[in-house]
Amino acid sequence: MEVEGAGDAGRGAGAIDEDMDRAAELFGVLANAHRLKIIRRLADRELDVGQLATALDFNQPNVSQHLRRLRDDGIVVSQRHGSRVVNRLSTPLTTALCELGCRLAAELDPSRPEHRPNQAKETEKR
């Protein structure tokens, strides 16, 4: 599967290594269920902290803390609209990555028989 803009042709090993290091940092930021839920909500529309807290049933300080981390890493962008500060995803690739991660998690779910070698063999014998 080719990702647009992710080609290695003509790039040095150092640049590719830097990309991998940055990807690892981003995966670390995304390795939090609360942040993934925030991203999922922001995939639909811009929201302020209060709207996110209500929609996710989280407290506002917790949402603000997660948004700050997402902003610091360039995943979320905030913009003032009058007295409100609304948040949005910086790129639609974030939504695609999260959706792909959820699909992969479902596919690799250890509760599925095909991911439990002994049980899968027993099922095949029946």
Return the CATH class of domain 15-108: mainly alpha
Q: Are 35 and 59 in contact (CB under 8 A)?
A: no
Closest CA to 40 of 76, 15, 74: 76
Tens digits of residue pLDDT in 31-89 = 999 999 999 999 999 999 999 999 999 999 999 999 999 999 999 999 999 999 999 99
Q: Say what percent of the chain tops pLDDT 90.
A: 72
pLDDT(3) > 60:
no
pLDDT computed for residue 112 by the predictor: 78
Average pLDDT across the chain, whole number: 87
Would you give the end-to-end CA distance of the chain in angstroms?
Answer: 36
- In terms of Cβ atoms closer than 10 Å to its own Cβ (0-12, 13-18, 19+), residue 81 is exposed
- In terms of Cβ atoms closer than 10 Å to its own Cβ (0-12, 13-18, 19+), residue 95 is middle
